[in-house]
Amino acid sequence: MSIKLENLNYTYSPGNAYEKHALKNVNLEIPHGQFVGIIGHTGSGKSTLIQHLNGLMKATSGALYYDGKNIYDEGYDMKALRSQVGLVFQYPEHQLFEVDVLTDVCFGPKNQGLSEEECLKRAKEALELVEFPEKYYHQSPFELSGGQKRRAAIAGVLAMKPKVLVLDEPTAGLDPKGRDDILDQIERLHKETGMTVILVSHSMEDIARYVERIIVMNHGEKLFDGMPKEVFAHYKELEQVGLAAPQVTYMMHDLKAQGMDVRTDVTTIEEAADEIMRCFHD
């Protein structure tokens, strides 16, 4: 179930004043079950990139292999691809439209052609996965709080049981608690179901805590690709493209500069605390 991108290029409005080369020769391979973070400044091409993953946008040139098959081949079943690769857009709550939450979540499975009972079953499972309170199942989605709306919308994609889940800034506009709740749930989902999760964000702190691999995009190109600590080692270059490594990276570098013999490749606060304690014990 791997996804492989080969020399992918995408140009918006080719041949006029609004022309923009949004993706430049992107090569990428994401094996099944990986938790990947895509990070980049506004306009770096990350949203464009993920819309290619389920065939919503067609590359100007290049190939995209899902499960070994090129999705741009003639006769490729895009509808099947879209139920395998679930895409949660930025502010997904803006796509809610049904009279109640449960029916809205049923929309995806219904489009897959499943029976009514199966749809309801899947919808309930998906709502449970995102810990959506059962008492709101029959409420209008427009009367919910921001965080609940977002859960309902994410459940709408999960109900299709995708093998790959792509989330475009799922925490934008949420308060810190709502943000942590959603990210924790996504992490749990990844652990429990083993699905591939691709998380787009521009916050390093968010990503560092959860993902096993980070892809940094800049001006439509892949700048770095590796484990978080490898990517954060380039913190100087990250700053140049308008990003930053997590606070702890800076702190560890400062401590090292002050003469303390700490490792600088830690990525989370917990690791940093352990590392500093280790130095004191030695």
Query: Which residues would be at the binding site for other proteins (CB under 8 A)?
Result: 12-13, 16-18, 51, 54, 56, 79, 82-83, 86-87, 89, 92, 94-97, 107-108, 111-112, 142, 156-157, 160
Task: Between 114 and 245, name the residue whose CB sits nearer to other proteins.
Answer: 114
Task: Between 45 and 108, name the residue whose CB sits nearer to other proteins.
Answer: 108
Question: Minimum CB separation from other proteins for residue 249, in Å?
Answer: 35
Question: Minimum CB separation from other proteins for residue 163, in Å?
Answer: 14
Task: Between 19 and 270, name the residue whose CB sits nearer to other proteins.
Answer: 19
Task: Between 119 and 183, name the residue whose CB sits nearer to other proteins.
Answer: 119
Task: Between 160 and 186, name the residue whose CB sits nearer to other proteins.
Answer: 160
For the record, the structure tokens of 155 come out as 């459940």
* 3-state SS class at 100: coil
Question: Minimum CB separation from other proteins for residue 237, in Å?
Answer: 32
Task: Between 89 and 132, name the residue whose CB sits nearer to other proteins.
Answer: 89
Angle between helices 116-129 and 101-111 (to 10 degrees): 120
Question: Minimum CB separation from other proteins for residue 254, in Å?
Answer: 42
Question: Minimum CB separation from other proteins for residue 196, in Å?
Answer: 16
Question: Minimum CB separation from other proteins for residue 260, in Å?
Answer: 49
Question: Minimum CB separation from other proteins for residue 94, in Å?
Answer: 6
Amino acid at 145: S
Q: Taking Cα atoms as reference points, which of 39, 5, 45, 4 lies closest to residue 221?
A: 45
Calpha distance 131→70 (Å, rounded): 36
Task: Between 107 and 250, name the residue whose CB sits nearer to other proteins.
Answer: 107
- The two most distant CA atoms of the chain are separated, in Å, by 66
Calpha distance 241→45 (Å, rounded): 13
* 3-state SS class at 45: coil
Measure the CA dihedral 267/271/273/277, to 10°: -130
Q: Which three-class secondary structure string do you get for 197-237?
A: EEEEECCHHHHHHHCCEEEEEECCEEEEEECHHHHHCCHHH
Angle at 10 between CA 197 and CA 87, to 5 degrees: 25
